[in-house]
Amino acid sequence: MTQKIRIGLVGAGWMGKAHASALANAQLLFGPEYGVAEFAIVADANEASAKNAMEKIGFERMSTDFMDVINADDVDLVDIATPNSFHYTVAKAALEAGKNVYCEKPLSISAEESKELAELAAKKGVINYVGYNNTMNPANAYVRELVQSGALGRIVRFQGTYDQDQLLDESLPITWRHINKLAGSGALGDLGAHLLSISQFIMGDITRVNAMTETVFPKRPKSAGSDELVDVENEDIVTFMCKYANGAIGTIAADRVATGRKNYLMYEIQGTKGSVRYDLERMGEVQVYFHDDDVRDRGFRTVLLNPEHKGYSAFQPAGGISIAYNDMKILEVHELFAALTHNEPYACNFEFGYKIDRTIAAVLESAKNEAWVDVQ
Amino acid sequence: MTQKIRIGLVGAGWMGKAHASALANAQLLFGPEYGVAEFAIVADANEASAKNAMEKIGFERMSTDFMDVINADDVDLVDIATPNSFHYTVAKAALEAGKNVYCEKPLSISAEESKELAELAAKKGVINYVGYNNTMNPANAYVRELVQSGALGRIVRFQGTYDQDQLLDESLPITWRHINKLAGSGALGDLGAHLLSISQFIMGDITRVNAMTETVFPKRPKSAGSDELVDVENEDIVTFMCKYANGAIGTIAADRVATGRKNYLMYEIQGTKGSVRYDLERMGEVQVYFHDDDVRDRGFRTVLLNPEHKGYSAFQPAGGISIAYNDMKILEVHELFAALTHNEPYACNFEFGYKIDRTIAAVLESAKNEAWVDVQ
Amino acid sequence: MTQKIRIGLVGAGWMGKAHASALANAQLLFGPEYGVAEFAIVADANEASAKNAMEKIGFERMSTDFMDVINADDVDLVDIATPNSFHYTVAKAALEAGKNVYCEKPLSISAEESKELAELAAKKGVINYVGYNNTMNPANAYVRELVQSGALGRIVRFQGTYDQDQLLDESLPITWRHINKLAGSGALGDLGAHLLSISQFIMGDITRVNAMTETVFPKRPKSAGSDELVDVENEDIVTFMCKYANGAIGTIAADRVATGRKNYLMYEIQGTKGSVRYDLERMGEVQVYFHDDDVRDRGFRTVLLNPEHKGYSAFQPAGGISIAYNDMKILEVHELFAALTHNEPYACNFEFGYKIDRTIAAVLESAKNEAWVDVQ
Amino acid sequence: MTQKIRIGLVGAGWMGKAHASALANAQLLFGPEYGVAEFAIVADANEASAKNAMEKIGFERMSTDFMDVINADDVDLVDIATPNSFHYTVAKAALEAGKNVYCEKPLSISAEESKELAELAAKKGVINYVGYNNTMNPANAYVRELVQSGALGRIVRFQGTYDQDQLLDESLPITWRHINKLAGSGALGDLGAHLLSISQFIMGDITRVNAMTETVFPKRPKSAGSDELVDVENEDIVTFMCKYANGAIGTIAADRVATGRKNYLMYEIQGTKGSVRYDLERMGEVQVYFHDDDVRDRGFRTVLLNPEHKGYSAFQPAGGISIAYNDMKILEVHELFAALTHNEPYACNFEFGYKIDRTIAAVLESAKNEAWVDVQ
């Protein structure tokens, strides 16, 4: 039976369009019984953006005031794709109005705001979904299965980094990413949060952290080509040691000026019976080692994603065929729809988003104080 | 300005749905000015399939007779996604009716049929597009640019293979793929044709071939679980040497029982100034070597696909992010739409399809006669 | 008990010194009970070379006439490290004198000469060893074990190439390698012979071949810097298809102008239950795939060489530690010594060398005649 | 001119033999003018070991008292290959006797002892060499050149780990490695010291550290097969953050129970203009990225070691050919000999060894106190 889900989108920029594309494709892949997106209303403070999105995506109407989305009687799901610093305000209004909410990551730009949202969502009992799409990656689902089934034995060590070099060029001007009241933090919140979502998904809670940050380019032009330099307020690189509730230790980093790295979200997990390594630049393969394999024949296996790995079969009937980074967003929308129409469980609720944000807060405090800090 | 393109789809199976998904997504990525697909009519001999496709994809009407598509006044583009052995009949009828045609690869299952179609298409002056989607891969577009710009020097050697192990299991029953009147050939037409399309696209015409074929499992169960074994009529593996019009030599293979290989379309091109290596199991990276790099520092470069490579920027604003195998189909539809609405040129016309099919015919003849055979 | 083996070396160039180094190191690794080399006499037509080798290596005496080595009463082993075109003459004389012979690869530069030597060696009953050192590589020993134990199932396909770019530069002058009466053939005898030795060792006899050759740079300067160009007499690239006595098919190539490749001796073997891939540029790792591994977890395993692989433990007590290309020569000397002092069997006798040379002859004939040729 | 160097070896175990092999091979590769080792005397508390070494290696005489080596008039170089905990005592005696000293790594098992040795060596003015052989690796020499020439720009970040799984098996009994008075520390001193030597060689001094240690298997059998468990006194894993005098930040780890890793000494260095990655399990290749390469064509280059990289040409005339881990020991002996006979400079003197040991001490203190610690 077709299940119509009427969408109210707040934020009509690049991310808003990416959400709309995923919302449209979920039906093609999973069928109308899981949900058919109807594009009711889009709001953006920038009128031209709102109009453009309405026309290109096919929303029925538009507004420059996000409260028109919150207050719309015909909206089933408020989809938040605004700049990060507005997530809190819009999500809070949507929850208070009793709406189901789909919020792009991060949940907010501070642990306090995220905590408030998580508590409010729990109280309201609505769907509260944060778009940590990497948890949808069939590779990460596979690794989680290996970890949680005990196939790797007792988990001992997690190492990961998310490195890009998009901000390497010193002449790139200051952006919202460099200003804390807009971004909350630097590489940590932007890139590190993705890695933390995987860590949370696979390893569970982090209990203690000890961090170091570095701003490689402490000043940037005020605008493109400008001679006036202004302060970069947050870290280009963060690296921290941590301890997990499951007994493992970890080292985690994020770096937005990592020369040569484009989308190098890499992690290794070591257990007493096996190990894995994954690198998002080679999205389709997972390195897996089993200590119990015959000594003569053992080695890291290059496992190509295939239909045995959760999510993959939505895209391809056979293994080894490339799926897209954006396909994780489609799987995310499907999980959200399954929650809405079939009451199925989902991992990335606001509590999950809050756990990441409180870890981020502890890391920032540790870096500032140069000491171990308990999470929360 | 929105350009509506009314689609008449023949064939409502897996491939028909893949086409429909690409047709729908092209607009999302490239905008309505390049074409908005309207799903007019779908035909499939199997009524249930036709009905299912109509409902899921949103076609306005359906039929069990493909001539209802050919004869429909409101159809701008006949999209052929039938089993391979029907391509010729449907394409011929569409051309004769003066319709634009979009035919899934291969153009037909024999060189004679394909030649006839190519000549007819040229005479009719309609759009005639064959869906060799690998030519849309930004990686292959990049390699073509390296070859054609002279960056690799004089081209000396091409080596490639397309290996999968989907038919490795001896207990898998006979299918249409094993029967020549349905498939034309075995691994050669199924897998090898994709590699040949890349070879044609990058290297140009093959002039001579010398081939060897092998049927590793010469008998298969008549049906799943059956004790009755029937003959496999065509090759599990083909390998051939060849000469190119550009002076290079080549070795090409295809293998549908290649243990461990999932989607291993791999090729290397060696020129006097540089070399490349590409492997579709790692779709997002191309290995490139430049002889003129400093001796101390030179080596194969792992180039991650990025917006400098044609087609990539439709999907991502920055490099190193995974795009999907299916995204090549979207780029294909975009090229087709651009031809329809903007009169832009395209590579994969029926003449291109015929060149591949005549090479296939020469390879089969060579393997039979155990001798060098001229192409055409 | 110490076993002294008195060495008579013919040829005091780079290869002679490499032999001497291996002869000296074998004792250090395997102990004096397997053989202690004593350097009795060295001969080289170039007196300065002979003298230099005597002094550096520590030979007791020298000569400019190789017959002084052949006729020396105190020589247990004649070690032939001359240019290839002299192998036949020296080896024949040594055999006729009843000496044990250790001949660097190739056995000779023609199948006829090699056949004569193999027959003479068999008749004389002396040790007759050809230095195909790649058969000593623990990686190749491991692959042979996988093949011969049936772990890979029925063997279906062999693919290999040996590519280097040492002769890529067009301005490099003509050398003995380019002249057939000195080299016998081009890339085939120089590089291809190494790959053929691995193929012979692991796969057994080749029965039919079908070849193509290419001379990329048909003329080269007469000497360094000269404007006078002379003909290159043999192939820069050879590629051929073949059939094996074990039922498998193969494609084999060698290329001395392969831009970007330094020591790319690569081969893949595909069986119905498993596959392997090996590349000498990554000498320490073998890629192995087992079809029977769990579908979710299977993939090519990167097996690092370790003490389970024959020969490795002579060098290292634990896996994953790099051994040298030259270490294969030490293992070769050890096998030779074990044959001399302990009567142990060895693979690379003159019959083995002849099999490679007759395959080379068939390949050359096939390329010339553009037809399939039976081996022998 | 032949330069005889008379060797007095203290310690006749596995490491002593490895030293002897390197001492013998240096002459073969570099010629007698740089030094010819003469094996004068070997001492080992275990008489059988001493005798065995004397016979196998060819020492003129032996002793069970190392002072017989120290006091021998005919010894030019005291070579210390004892267990680590004896290095201090033997080295101190040798220095006091005015002997040249070649000490296997580590210099001692405490910063205090190493400081004393470094100061004494400086005062005595003799050759004082510590065997940190990884500094001899042509790959590391190449990276150092890239860093120090500015080719990578300003150095920003160092990341490295040395992981093995040799002690993974819980049933392996306690050894000297687990006892602090014999080993000083666990994975840090055993494996981490090698990585620190590379870090010191390439990056220079570390100024501050912040560490965490973990003992994964805190108890082990008293002996093989025993039911009695005894305490492991030191860390299986160490990981620490650090700051360099050159302004870079770092994260460094060592792990002796890292499932699946055999010889995974891996590091990455990131500069503002380029980056490198190296992994000792693929000893022959260095990954290098240059930001200034054309955007379309740039990527990490897989640079195969070749004669442009210092030390390589001693072994091979052309690139891409595997050299051995043990070959670094031969290069080390050559550097030592060149210092002895030609007065050439060398990097790994006792001061260098002390810098590593004081860093180790700071790391251990930091882990204990859970705080940042200044080095020295």
> For the CA atoms of chain C, what is the radius of gyration?
21
Give the pLDDT confidence of B225-281 residue by residue, as tens digits: 999 999 999 999 999 999 999 999 999 999 999 999 999 999 999 999 999 999 999
* Total-model pTM: 0.97
Instruction: Kindly tell me if the per-residue pLDDT of A2 is higher than 80.
Output: no
Residue D31, pLDDT score:
84
Nearest to D340 by CA among D30, D12, D11, D16: D30
Q: Which of C13, C236, C22 is nearest to C129 (CA)?
A: C22
Average pLDDT of the segment spanning D51-77: 95
Q: What is the 3-state secondary structure (H, E, C) of D136-190?
A: HCHHHHHHHHHHHCCCCCCEEEEEEEEECCCCCCCCCCCCHHHCHHHHCCCHHHH
d(C-alpha C228, C-alpha C222), whole Å: 6
- pLDDT tens digits, residue range D275-305? 999 999 999 999 999 999 999 999 999 999 9
pLDDT tens-digit map of B113-128: 999 999 999 999 999 9
User: In angstroms, rounded to a whole number, what is the distance separating the alpha carbons of residues C352 and C118?
Assistant: 8
The answer, yes or no, to whether residue A124 has pLDDT greater than 80, is yes
Which residue in D217, D246, D249, D270 has the most chain A C-beta atoms within 10 A of its own C-beta, making it the best mutation to test that interface? D270
Chain centroid offset of residue C261 CA = 19
DSSP tag of D308? T
> Residue C318 is nearest to which of D262, D320, D326, comparing CB atoms?
D262
- CB contact under 8 Å between B326 and A315, yes or no, is yes
Cα B171 to Cα B219, B230, C247, distances in angstroms: 10, 12, 21
Find chains touching chain C: ≥3 CB pairs under 8 Å.
A, B, D
Asked if C153 and C207 touch (Cβ cutoff 8 Å), the reply is no
Q: Which residue carries 């006949």 as its tokens?
A: B78
CA distance A360 to B70: 61
Cα-based torsion angle of the residue sequence A144, A334, B51, B28 in order, rounded to the nearest 10 degrees: -120
Nearest CA in chain B to C271: B259
- With CA atoms as reference, report the closest residue to A97 among A126, A122, A118, A119: A126
Q: Count Cβ atoms below 10 Å from residue C268 Cβ, excluding itself.
A: 21
Segment C232-256 mean pLDDT: 98
C245 in D contact zone (CB under 8 Å): no
The verdict on A31 touching B (C-beta cutoff 8 Å) is yes
Beta bridge partners of A231: A219
Can you tell me the distance from the alpha carbon of D47 to that of D160, in angstroms, rounded to the nearest whole number?
Answer: 41
- Report the C-alpha gap between A118 and A115 in whole angstroms: 5
| Residue A1 scores a pLDDT above 70 | no
Q: Is B35 within 8 Å of B27 (Cβ atoms)?
A: yes
Contact status, residue D107 vs residue D129, Cβ threshold 8 Å: no
Torsion of CA C198, C202, C203, C204, to 10 degrees: 90
Chain D CB within 8 Å of residue A25 CB: no
d(CA D286, nearest CA chain B) in Å = 9
Q: Which two tokens stand for residue D264?
A: 């995974």
Q: Which chains does chain A touch, 3 or more C-beta pairs < 8 A?
A: B, C, D
How much is the average pLDDT of A342-360?
A: 98
Q: Report how far apart, in Å, the C-alpha atoms of A278 and of each of A140, A265, A303, A304 are.
A: 8, 8, 10, 11
First to last CA, chain C: 45
Residue D137 has pLDDT above 90, yes or no: yes
Q: How confident is the model at residue C56 (pLDDT cuts 50, 70, 90)?
A: confident
Instruction: Work out whether strand D61-63 and strand D36-43 pair parallel, antiparallel, or are unpaired.
Output: parallel
pLDDT reported for residue B3: 87
Enumerate the residues of chain D whose CB falls inside 8 A of the CB of residue C166.
Answer: 318
Contact C232, C259 (CB under 8 A): no
Q: Residue C331 has what pLDDT?
A: 97
Is B161 in contact with C157 (Cβ distance < 8 A)?
no
- The continuous run of DSSP H or E covering B211 comes out as strand B206-214
Structure tokens at C371: 């037809």
Q: Report how far apart, in Å, the C-alpha atoms of B55 and of each of A21, A344, B37, B49, B266 are.
A: 20, 26, 16, 10, 39
- A31: Cβ–Cβ under 8 A, 6 or more apart, which residues? B56
Question: Would an 8 Å CB–CB cutoff place C288 in contact with chain A?
Answer: yes
The tokens describing A330, both together, are: 């489609």
Beta-bridge mates of residue C7: C39, C77
Task: Give yes or no for A371 touching D (CB within 8 A).
Answer: yes
User: Tens of pLDDT along C304-328?
Assistant: 999 999 999 999 999 999 999 989 9
Contact between residue D41 and residue D12 where contact means Cβ atoms under 8 Å apart? no
Dist. CA B299–CA D304, nearest whole Å:
7
Q: Within an 8 Å CB–CB cutoff, is residue A297 touching chain C?
A: yes
What is the model's pLDDT at position D146? Answer: 98
CA distances from residue A124 to A92, A118, A355, C264 in whole angstroms, order as listed? 11, 10, 19, 64
Token digits of residue C144: 């042979």
Give the span between the Cα atoms of C152 and D262, in whole angstroms: 25
Q: Region B175-188: what's the mean pLDDT? A: 95
**DSSP H or E run through A104:** strand A100-104
d(CA C291, CA B314): 38
Structure tokens at D311: 């030390």
CA pair distance B156, C192, nearest whole angstrom: 18
pLDDT of D57 reads: 87
Q: What is the mean pLDDT of chain A?
A: 96
- How far C282 CA sits from the closest chain D CA (Å)? 7
* Runs of H (alpha helix) within A38-86: 47-53, 67-70
Contact between B235 and B215 (Cβ < 8 Å)? yes
Residues belonging to chain A: 376
Q: What is the pLDDT of residues A96-122, one digit of tens each?
A: 999 999 999 999 999 999 999 999 999
* A-to-B residue pairs, Cβ atoms closer than 8 angstroms: 96
What ipTM score was computed for the predicted complex, to two decimals? 0.95
Q: What is the pLDDT of residue D138?
A: 98
Min Cα separation A326/chain D (Å): 23
The H-or-E segment that residue C251 falls in is strand C249-255
Percent with pLDDT over 90 in chain B: 95
Rounded average pLDDT over B218-224? 96
Residues D98, D72: Cα–Cα separation, whole Å? 11
B293 class by beta-carbon count within 10 Å (0-12 exposed, 13-18 middle, 19+ buried): middle
Q: Which pLDDT score is estimated for D1?
A: 64
Average pLDDT taken over every residue of chain B: 96
Please report the pLDDT score of residue C57 as a whole number: 87
Give the pLDDT of residue A57. 87
Q: Coil, helix or strand for A147? A: helix
Taking residues D232-241, report their average pLDDT.
98
For chain C, the average pLDDT equals 96
Question: For chain B, what is the radius of gyration of the CA atoms?
Answer: 21
pLDDT tens digits along C2-14? 789 999 999 999 8
What are the start-end ranges of the E strands in chain D? 4-10, 36-43, 61-63, 77-80, 100-104, 128-131, 155-163, 206-214, 219-221, 229-231, 237-244, 249-255, 264-271, 274-279, 285-290, 300-304, 373-374
Place of tokens 């002859």: C361
Amino acid at B125: G
Minimum distance, in Å, between the CA of residue B317 and any CA atom of chain C: 31
* Buried/exposed code over A36-65 (b: 16+ C-beta within 10 A; e: otherwise): bbbbbbbbbbeeebbbbbbeebebeebbee
**Paired tokens of B347:** 């590579």
Assign residue D307 a region (left: φ > 0; alpha: ψ between -120 and 50; beta: otherwise): alpha
Q: Which of B290, B292, B296, B309 to mutate to test the interface with D (most CBs of D within 10 A)?
A: B296
**A239 in contact with chain D, both atoms CB, cutoff 8 A:** yes
Residue from D61, D59, D64 nearest D47 by CA: D64
Whether C194 shows a pLDDT value over 70: the answer reads yes
Q: Does C172 touch chain A (CB under 8 A)?
A: no
User: What span, in angstroms and rounded, lies between the C-alpha atoms of C328 and B328?
Assistant: 47
Domains of chain B: 4-131 (3.40.50.720), 135-374 (3.30.360.10)
Radius of gyration for the alpha carbons in chain D, expressed in angstroms and rounded: 21
Separation in Å, CA of A80 to nearest CA in chain C: 36
Tokens in use for A260?
């040569």
Residues of C in contact with D263 (CB under 8 A): 304, 318-322
Separation between Cα atoms, residue A216 and residue A121, nearest integer Å? 39
Is B179 part of the contact surface with chain D (CB cutoff 8 Å)? Answer: no
| CB-based contact C156 B237, cutoff 8 Å | yes
